[in-house]
Amino acid sequence: MKKVEITCSACIPVLKGIIQYFTDIKYFFKPEFKTERYYLHFFLSLAIALPIIAGLLFMSHLETTPLLYQIFIGAFITYGINWHRENKKMDPEKGVPFSQTDVNFGSYGGAIAPLIIKLILLLVCYEIKF
């Protein structure tokens, strides 16, 4: 009986990308957050994602789905927007490289947007007074 060896050439880069996605969170607490301007990607993506997610919540009844799914949708949309932006701005001849960390920070902003919308809905609908 022959031994079957299955190889996955895409598994290692995908695994490295997933690990980098979660390890880039450390930059929220480091000076690079300001010096590398990661805050711009985070807050601009949050501002872009808020109306998009709010529109999806109310137009396509996304509010009936679990919050984790809403977070995934927000992160996925802003990941795509930031990935496209980084590809357009990338110019190796001028020294502007593609930055996966910039894309990840944009995605974090999109992941926070559904949480903010949910918090606003809780405050408005249940009239919580502080």
Residues 6+ apart with CB under 8 A from 118: 67, 70
pLDDT the model gives residue 94: 84
Host domain of residue 39? 21-125
> What span, in angstroms and rounded, lies between the C-alpha atoms of 86 and 91?
10
> What span, in angstroms and rounded, lies between the C-alpha atoms of 82 and 45?
8
Residue 12 placed within a domain? no
Q: How many domains, the chain?
A: 1
> Are residues 103 and 45 in contact, defined by beta-carbon separation less than 8 angstroms?
no
- What does each C-alpha distance from 64 to 22, 60, 127 come to in angstroms? 28, 10, 21
For the chain of 130 residues, list the mean pLDDT of each consecutive stretch of 10: 78 89 94 92 94 88 87 94 92 86 94 92 71
Report the chain's C-alpha Rg in angstroms.
19
Residue 98 placed within a domain? yes
Residue 10 placed within a domain? no
pLDDT the model gives residue 65: 87
Strand partners, 55: none
Residue 13 placed within a domain? no
> What span, in angstroms and rounded, lies between the C-alpha atoms of 46 and 74?
9
